[in-house]
Structure 1
Amino acid sequence: MDLTYPEVGATGRDELPAGYHHLHERQVLGAVDLEAAATVLMTWQMHRRAGVKPLGDVPRATPGQDVTFRFAGRTIPCRVVSVVDEADRQGFTYGTLPGHPECGEERFELQRDPATGVVTATITAFSRPGTPIARLLGPLGVVVQTWMARRYLAALAR
Protein backbone atom coordinates (compact mmCIF):
# COMPACT_ATOMS: atom_id res chain seq x y z
CA MET A 1 0.00 0.00 0.00
CA ASP A 2 1.39 3.39 -0.98
CA LEU A 3 1.27 6.63 0.97
CA THR A 4 -1.43 9.02 -0.25
CA TYR A 5 0.89 11.97 -0.90
CA PRO A 6 4.19 12.39 -2.80
CA GLU A 7 6.05 14.81 -0.47
CA VAL A 8 7.33 12.16 1.95
CA GLY A 9 9.58 13.66 4.62
CA ALA A 10 8.53 17.26 3.98
CA THR A 11 7.66 17.89 7.66
CA GLY A 12 11.39 17.68 8.36
CA ARG A 13 12.20 20.49 5.93
CA ASP A 14 12.08 24.26 6.37
CA GLU A 15 9.24 24.76 3.89
CA LEU A 16 6.08 22.67 3.93
CA PRO A 17 4.54 21.85 0.53
CA ALA A 18 2.04 24.17 -1.12
CA GLY A 19 -1.55 23.07 -1.57
CA TYR A 20 -1.99 21.75 1.97
CA HIS A 21 -3.10 23.14 5.31
CA HIS A 22 -0.01 23.65 7.50
CA LEU A 23 -0.01 23.02 11.24
CA HIS A 24 2.66 23.99 13.77
CA GLU A 25 1.93 23.42 17.45
CA ARG A 26 4.51 23.64 20.21
CA GLN A 27 4.54 23.21 23.97
CA VAL A 28 7.36 23.63 26.46
CA LEU A 29 7.28 20.60 28.76
CA GLY A 30 9.95 21.95 31.09
CA ALA A 31 12.96 20.22 32.60
CA VAL A 32 11.47 16.74 32.24
CA ASP A 33 13.27 13.47 31.57
CA LEU A 34 13.61 13.33 27.77
CA GLU A 35 13.86 9.54 27.73
CA ALA A 36 10.65 9.15 29.76
CA ALA A 37 8.80 11.63 27.52
CA ALA A 38 10.16 9.84 24.43
CA THR A 39 8.83 6.53 25.74
CA VAL A 40 5.36 8.09 26.06
CA LEU A 41 5.67 9.41 22.50
CA MET A 42 7.31 6.44 20.77
CA THR A 43 5.13 3.70 22.35
CA TRP A 44 1.82 5.34 21.38
CA GLN A 45 0.98 6.27 24.99
CA MET A 46 0.53 9.88 23.86
CA HIS A 47 -2.10 8.71 21.37
CA ARG A 48 -3.85 6.54 23.96
CA ARG A 49 -3.90 9.39 26.49
CA ALA A 50 -5.49 11.60 23.83
CA GLY A 51 -8.20 9.00 23.17
CA VAL A 52 -6.71 7.56 19.96
CA LYS A 53 -6.31 3.77 20.13
CA PRO A 54 -3.62 1.97 18.11
CA LEU A 55 -4.93 -1.33 16.76
CA GLY A 56 -2.91 -4.54 16.59
CA ASP A 57 0.54 -5.31 17.95
CA VAL A 58 2.52 -2.10 17.41
CA PRO A 59 4.69 -1.65 20.51
CA ARG A 60 6.88 1.19 19.23
CA ALA A 61 7.15 3.57 16.27
CA THR A 62 9.68 2.17 13.80
CA PRO A 63 10.39 3.27 10.22
CA GLY A 64 8.23 1.53 7.63
CA GLN A 65 5.73 0.31 10.22
CA ASP A 66 2.05 0.54 9.34
CA VAL A 67 -0.19 1.43 12.25
CA THR A 68 -3.96 1.84 12.25
CA PHE A 69 -5.66 3.93 14.89
CA ARG A 70 -9.28 4.09 15.96
CA PHE A 71 -10.82 7.39 16.96
CA ALA A 72 -14.48 8.39 17.12
CA GLY A 73 -15.49 5.15 15.41
CA ARG A 74 -13.17 5.72 12.44
CA THR A 75 -10.09 3.77 11.42
CA ILE A 76 -7.08 5.90 10.60
CA PRO A 77 -4.27 4.06 8.74
CA CYS A 78 -0.76 5.54 8.80
CA ARG A 79 2.84 4.53 8.10
CA VAL A 80 5.84 5.63 10.15
CA VAL A 81 8.14 7.20 7.55
CA SER A 82 11.00 8.24 9.82
CA VAL A 83 12.28 8.17 13.38
CA VAL A 84 14.65 10.57 15.14
CA ASP A 85 16.77 9.02 17.89
CA GLU A 86 19.44 11.47 19.02
CA ALA A 87 20.79 12.47 22.43
CA ASP A 88 18.73 15.68 22.58
CA ARG A 89 16.04 14.93 19.98
CA GLN A 90 13.48 12.11 19.78
CA GLY A 91 10.44 11.60 17.62
CA PHE A 92 8.80 10.18 14.55
CA THR A 93 6.86 11.12 11.45
CA TYR A 94 3.94 9.27 9.98
CA GLY A 95 2.12 9.64 6.71
CA THR A 96 -1.37 8.79 5.58
CA LEU A 97 -2.37 5.55 3.87
CA PRO A 98 -5.49 4.89 1.76
CA GLY A 99 -8.57 5.04 3.97
CA HIS A 100 -7.24 7.86 6.15
CA PRO A 101 -9.68 10.80 6.09
CA GLU A 102 -6.82 13.21 5.42
CA CYS A 103 -3.89 13.14 3.02
CA GLY A 104 -0.51 14.28 4.35
CA GLU A 105 2.11 13.90 7.03
CA GLU A 106 2.55 14.64 10.73
CA ARG A 107 5.80 14.91 12.68
CA PHE A 108 6.03 14.56 16.48
CA GLU A 109 9.29 15.69 18.01
CA LEU A 110 10.79 16.24 21.45
CA GLN A 111 13.86 18.42 21.73
CA ARG A 112 15.96 19.10 24.82
CA ASP A 113 18.00 22.28 25.12
CA PRO A 114 21.40 20.95 26.24
CA ALA A 115 22.17 24.20 28.10
CA THR A 116 19.00 24.28 30.21
CA GLY A 117 17.59 20.75 30.06
CA VAL A 118 14.21 22.15 29.01
CA VAL A 119 12.25 19.84 26.70
CA THR A 120 9.92 21.19 24.02
CA ALA A 121 7.35 19.13 22.13
CA THR A 122 6.54 20.12 18.56
CA ILE A 123 3.95 18.84 16.11
CA THR A 124 4.31 19.82 12.46
CA ALA A 125 1.91 18.68 9.76
CA PHE A 126 0.59 19.31 6.30
CA SER A 127 -2.73 17.89 5.19
CA ARG A 128 -5.73 18.18 2.93
CA PRO A 129 -8.94 16.18 2.72
CA GLY A 130 -8.30 12.63 1.54
CA THR A 131 -11.83 11.22 1.25
CA PRO A 132 -15.11 12.52 -0.17
CA ILE A 133 -16.52 12.87 3.35
CA ALA A 134 -13.49 14.89 4.49
CA ARG A 135 -13.84 17.13 1.43
CA LEU A 136 -17.53 17.62 2.22
CA LEU A 137 -16.70 18.63 5.80
CA GLY A 138 -14.25 21.24 4.49
CA PRO A 139 -12.62 23.38 7.19
CA LEU A 140 -13.89 21.13 9.99
CA GLY A 141 -10.92 18.83 9.25
CA VAL A 142 -8.51 21.66 10.06
CA VAL A 143 -10.33 22.35 13.33
CA VAL A 144 -10.21 18.66 14.31
CA GLN A 145 -6.52 18.34 13.40
CA THR A 146 -5.59 21.40 15.48
CA TRP A 147 -7.71 20.16 18.39
CA MET A 148 -6.05 16.74 18.22
CA ALA A 149 -2.54 18.23 18.07
CA ARG A 150 -3.29 20.16 21.24
CA ARG A 151 -4.67 17.00 22.89
CA TYR A 152 -1.45 15.18 21.96
CA LEU A 153 0.68 17.94 23.47
CA ALA A 154 -1.43 17.94 26.64
CA ALA A 155 -1.01 14.16 26.83
CA LEU A 156 2.77 14.56 26.66
CA ALA A 157 2.69 17.22 29.37
CA ARG A 158 1.02 14.85 31.89
Structure 2
Amino acid sequence: MSHERGATPEQQPVDYAAVGATQAGDLLQYPPEGFVPVADQIRLGSGVERFRASSSQLFNWIAQRHAGVTVSDVHVPAGDSYIGIRYDDDGTPLEQVRSTGERRFGEDGVPEVSAGATLTLSGHAGGVAISGRFRVVFVIEESHRSGFALGSVESSSFSGEQSFVIEHRDDDSVWFVFRAFSRPLGLSTRLVPALHRRALTGLATAYLRAMSPAWSTPGA
Protein backbone atom coordinates (compact mmCIF):
# COMPACT_ATOMS: atom_id res chain seq x y z
CA MET A 1 0.00 0.00 0.00
CA SER A 2 1.26 3.46 -0.82
CA HIS A 3 1.10 6.17 1.83
CA GLU A 4 0.96 9.89 1.44
CA ARG A 5 4.42 11.33 1.95
CA GLY A 6 5.10 11.79 5.63
CA ALA A 7 1.84 10.14 6.76
CA THR A 8 1.84 7.79 9.75
CA PRO A 9 -0.67 4.92 10.24
CA GLU A 10 -2.51 7.11 12.78
CA GLN A 11 -2.91 9.85 10.14
CA GLN A 12 -3.66 7.48 7.28
CA PRO A 13 -7.40 6.75 6.81
CA VAL A 14 -7.86 3.22 5.35
CA ASP A 15 -6.56 1.42 2.28
CA TYR A 16 -9.94 0.80 0.58
CA ALA A 17 -12.70 3.08 -0.69
CA ALA A 18 -16.05 1.60 0.44
CA VAL A 19 -15.82 2.61 4.10
CA GLY A 20 -18.88 1.47 6.08
CA ALA A 21 -20.16 -0.89 3.37
CA THR A 22 -20.32 -3.86 5.78
CA GLN A 23 -23.65 -2.36 6.87
CA ALA A 24 -25.11 -2.22 3.36
CA GLY A 25 -28.13 -4.54 3.06
CA ASP A 26 -27.01 -5.88 -0.31
CA LEU A 27 -23.40 -6.57 0.66
CA LEU A 28 -23.51 -10.26 -0.26
CA GLN A 29 -25.14 -9.61 -3.63
CA TYR A 30 -23.19 -6.48 -4.56
CA PRO A 31 -19.91 -6.25 -2.67
CA PRO A 32 -17.40 -3.51 -3.51
CA GLU A 33 -15.74 -4.34 -6.83
CA GLY A 34 -12.83 -6.72 -6.45
CA PHE A 35 -13.76 -7.74 -2.88
CA VAL A 36 -15.11 -11.03 -1.51
CA PRO A 37 -18.02 -10.69 1.00
CA VAL A 38 -19.01 -12.91 3.93
CA ALA A 39 -21.77 -12.73 6.56
CA ASP A 40 -22.70 -15.05 9.41
CA GLN A 41 -24.44 -14.89 12.77
CA ILE A 42 -24.97 -16.82 15.97
CA ARG A 43 -27.55 -16.59 18.73
CA LEU A 44 -26.01 -15.65 22.08
CA GLY A 45 -29.11 -15.98 24.25
CA SER A 46 -31.96 -13.64 25.11
CA GLY A 47 -32.83 -10.67 27.26
CA VAL A 48 -31.46 -7.25 27.95
CA GLU A 49 -28.79 -8.50 30.37
CA ARG A 50 -27.34 -10.81 27.75
CA PHE A 51 -27.34 -7.93 25.27
CA ARG A 52 -25.54 -5.63 27.70
CA ALA A 53 -23.00 -8.26 28.75
CA SER A 54 -22.23 -9.27 25.17
CA SER A 55 -21.91 -5.64 24.12
CA SER A 56 -19.46 -4.97 26.94
CA GLN A 57 -17.39 -7.99 25.92
CA LEU A 58 -17.40 -6.92 22.29
CA PHE A 59 -16.16 -3.41 23.12
CA ASN A 60 -13.34 -4.97 25.13
CA TRP A 61 -12.04 -6.86 22.06
CA ILE A 62 -13.25 -10.29 23.22
CA ALA A 63 -14.17 -11.40 19.67
CA GLN A 64 -10.59 -10.81 18.57
CA ARG A 65 -8.84 -12.07 21.70
CA HIS A 66 -10.86 -15.28 22.12
CA ALA A 67 -10.46 -16.03 18.41
CA GLY A 68 -6.68 -16.01 18.83
CA VAL A 69 -5.82 -12.47 17.78
CA THR A 70 -3.74 -10.11 19.94
CA VAL A 71 -4.90 -6.49 20.18
CA SER A 72 -2.12 -4.01 20.93
CA ASP A 73 -0.94 -0.42 20.47
CA VAL A 74 -4.46 1.02 20.63
CA HIS A 75 -4.34 4.73 19.86
CA VAL A 76 -7.47 6.84 20.50
CA PRO A 77 -7.48 10.16 18.61
CA ALA A 78 -7.94 13.36 20.55
CA GLY A 79 -10.87 15.60 19.72
CA ASP A 80 -13.10 15.44 16.64
CA SER A 81 -10.47 13.91 14.38
CA TYR A 82 -12.35 11.19 12.52
CA ILE A 83 -15.79 10.77 10.95
CA GLY A 84 -17.25 7.28 10.64
CA ILE A 85 -19.80 6.20 8.02
CA ARG A 86 -22.85 3.98 8.42
CA TYR A 87 -25.38 2.64 5.93
CA ASP A 88 -29.07 1.76 6.23
CA ASP A 89 -30.58 -1.52 4.93
CA ASP A 90 -30.87 -0.05 1.44
CA GLY A 91 -27.20 0.86 1.31
CA THR A 92 -27.83 4.58 1.79
CA PRO A 93 -25.20 6.40 3.88
CA LEU A 94 -26.59 7.64 7.20
CA GLU A 95 -25.53 10.61 9.25
CA GLN A 96 -21.82 10.62 9.96
CA VAL A 97 -20.63 9.87 13.46
CA ARG A 98 -17.77 11.92 14.83
CA SER A 99 -15.30 10.69 17.42
CA THR A 100 -15.39 12.61 20.68
CA GLY A 101 -12.01 11.32 21.81
CA GLU A 102 -13.57 9.90 25.01
CA ARG A 103 -11.34 7.21 26.47
CA ARG A 104 -12.72 4.08 28.13
CA PHE A 105 -10.49 1.31 29.39
CA GLY A 106 -10.92 -2.38 30.10
CA GLU A 107 -9.78 -4.07 33.30
CA ASP A 108 -6.38 -4.76 31.72
CA GLY A 109 -5.87 -1.06 30.93
CA VAL A 110 -6.30 -1.45 27.17
CA PRO A 111 -8.58 1.23 25.68
CA GLU A 112 -12.02 -0.03 24.68
CA VAL A 113 -13.35 0.34 21.15
CA SER A 114 -13.62 3.99 20.13
CA ALA A 115 -14.50 5.57 16.78
CA GLY A 116 -11.38 6.53 14.87
CA ALA A 117 -9.01 4.53 17.08
CA THR A 118 -6.14 2.70 15.41
CA LEU A 119 -4.72 -0.59 16.64
CA THR A 120 -2.44 -3.45 15.74
CA LEU A 121 -3.81 -6.98 15.28
CA SER A 122 -1.60 -10.05 15.16
CA GLY A 123 -2.28 -13.77 15.33
CA HIS A 124 -4.39 -16.46 13.67
CA ALA A 125 -8.18 -16.80 13.69
CA GLY A 126 -9.84 -19.73 11.98
CA GLY A 127 -6.56 -20.59 10.29
CA VAL A 128 -6.24 -17.08 8.86
CA ALA A 129 -3.11 -15.07 9.61
CA ILE A 130 -3.96 -11.51 10.68
CA SER A 131 -1.23 -8.92 10.95
CA GLY A 132 -1.24 -5.17 10.53
CA ARG A 133 -2.68 -1.84 11.51
CA PHE A 134 -6.45 -1.26 11.52
CA ARG A 135 -8.86 1.60 12.24
CA VAL A 136 -12.28 1.62 13.92
CA VAL A 137 -14.28 3.12 11.05
CA PHE A 138 -17.62 3.32 12.88
CA VAL A 139 -19.18 2.56 16.26
CA ILE A 140 -22.83 1.72 17.00
CA GLU A 141 -24.25 2.30 20.49
CA GLU A 142 -28.03 2.05 20.36
CA SER A 143 -30.63 0.65 22.74
CA HIS A 144 -30.98 -2.62 20.79
CA ARG A 145 -27.84 -2.65 18.64
CA SER A 146 -24.18 -2.15 19.39
CA GLY A 147 -20.90 -2.82 17.63
CA PHE A 148 -18.16 -1.50 15.42
CA ALA A 149 -16.20 -2.09 12.23
CA LEU A 150 -12.48 -2.38 11.58
CA GLY A 151 -10.95 -1.18 8.33
CA SER A 152 -7.46 -2.09 7.19
CA VAL A 153 -4.87 0.69 7.21
CA GLU A 154 -1.72 -1.29 6.60
CA SER A 155 -2.09 -5.08 6.57
CA SER A 156 0.12 -7.88 5.34
CA SER A 157 -2.79 -10.30 4.81
CA PHE A 158 -5.87 -8.56 3.40
CA SER A 159 -7.46 -5.23 2.57
CA GLY A 160 -11.05 -4.51 3.56
CA GLU A 161 -13.49 -4.17 6.44
CA GLN A 162 -14.98 -6.34 9.17
CA SER A 163 -18.00 -5.46 11.31
CA PHE A 164 -18.91 -6.96 14.68
CA VAL A 165 -22.46 -6.23 15.87
CA ILE A 166 -24.65 -7.37 18.78
CA GLU A 167 -28.42 -7.21 18.11
CA HIS A 168 -31.28 -7.44 20.63
CA ARG A 169 -34.18 -8.36 18.36
CA ASP A 170 -37.94 -7.93 18.70
CA ASP A 171 -38.43 -11.53 19.90
CA ASP A 172 -36.00 -10.79 22.81
CA SER A 173 -33.25 -12.94 21.26
CA VAL A 174 -29.67 -11.65 21.21
CA TRP A 175 -27.44 -12.28 18.19
CA PHE A 176 -23.85 -11.65 17.19
CA VAL A 177 -23.52 -10.73 13.50
CA PHE A 178 -20.22 -10.74 11.64
CA ARG A 179 -19.95 -9.19 8.17
CA ALA A 180 -16.89 -8.50 6.08
CA PHE A 181 -15.55 -7.82 2.63
CA SER A 182 -11.91 -8.14 1.71
CA ARG A 183 -9.41 -8.80 -1.02
CA PRO A 184 -6.30 -10.90 -0.38
CA LEU A 185 -2.80 -9.52 -0.41
CA GLY A 186 -1.06 -12.92 -0.29
CA LEU A 187 0.02 -14.43 -3.63
CA SER A 188 -1.70 -17.81 -3.24
CA THR A 189 -5.11 -16.40 -2.32
CA ARG A 190 -4.87 -13.76 -5.06
CA LEU A 191 -4.27 -16.48 -7.63
CA VAL A 192 -7.01 -18.77 -6.29
CA PRO A 193 -10.04 -16.69 -5.17
CA ALA A 194 -11.76 -19.78 -3.75
CA LEU A 195 -9.00 -20.03 -1.15
CA HIS A 196 -9.72 -16.52 0.06
CA ARG A 197 -13.46 -17.18 0.26
CA ARG A 198 -12.74 -20.32 2.30
CA ALA A 199 -10.42 -18.35 4.56
CA LEU A 200 -13.08 -15.69 5.15
CA THR A 201 -15.60 -18.38 6.09
CA GLY A 202 -13.13 -19.82 8.59
CA LEU A 203 -12.50 -16.37 10.01
CA ALA A 204 -16.23 -15.75 10.46
CA THR A 205 -16.62 -19.08 12.28
CA ALA A 206 -13.74 -18.24 14.61
CA TYR A 207 -15.29 -14.92 15.61
CA LEU A 208 -18.74 -16.46 16.12
CA ARG A 209 -17.31 -19.14 18.36
CA ALA A 210 -15.31 -16.54 20.28
CA MET A 211 -18.47 -14.62 21.21
CA SER A 212 -20.71 -17.63 21.90
CA PRO A 213 -21.34 -18.48 25.59
CA ALA A 214 -21.36 -22.15 24.51
CA TRP A 215 -17.60 -21.98 23.87
CA SER A 216 -16.10 -21.45 27.31
CA THR A 217 -12.46 -21.91 26.29
CA PRO A 218 -10.94 -18.91 24.47
CA GLY A 219 -9.84 -19.84 20.99
CA ALA A 220 -11.50 -23.28 21.20
TM-score after normalising by structure 1: 0.88
- Asked if residue 13 in structure 1 is aligned to residue 24 in structure 2, the reply is yes
Instruction: Classify the secondary structure of the residue corresponding to 1:56.
Output: strand
1:92-144 deviation digits (Å, cap 9, x = unpaired):
0111112341111111111101x432101111111111355653564333222
Distance verdict in 2 for CA 1:86–1:100, change over 3 Å: farther
Shift of the 76–136 alpha-carbon distance from structure 1 to 2, 3 Å rule, reads farther
The code of the aligned residue for 1:29 comes to: L
Amino acid at match of 1:79: R
Which position in structure 2 is the counterpart of 1:129? Answer: 184
Map of 1:2-151 to 2, 5 A cutoff?
Answer: 2-16=13-27, 17-31=32-46, 33-57=50-74, 58-72=110-124, 75-113=131-169, 115-132=170-187, 134-136=189-191, 138-151=193-206
CA deviation digits over 1:17-63, x for unaligned, max 9? Answer: 23211101111112151111011111101211111110134421111
Q: How many residues were matched structurally?
A: 157
Shift of residue 75 of structure 1?
A: 2.3
Gaps of 5+ in 1: none
TM superposition outliers: structure 1 runs of 4+ over 6 Å: none
CA RMSD of aligned residues (A): 2.0
Query: Do the aligned residues in 2 keep the contact of 1:95 with 1:105 (CA within 8 Å)?
Result: yes
TM, length-normalised to structure 2: 0.65
Whether the 8 Å CA contact 2:132–2:154 is kept in 1: the answer is no
- Which one has a bigger Cα radius of gyration? 2
Q: Give me the identity figure in percent.
A: 30
Q: Would you say the 8 A contact 1:99–1:131 is kept in 2?
A: no
Aligned residue identity for 1:2:
P
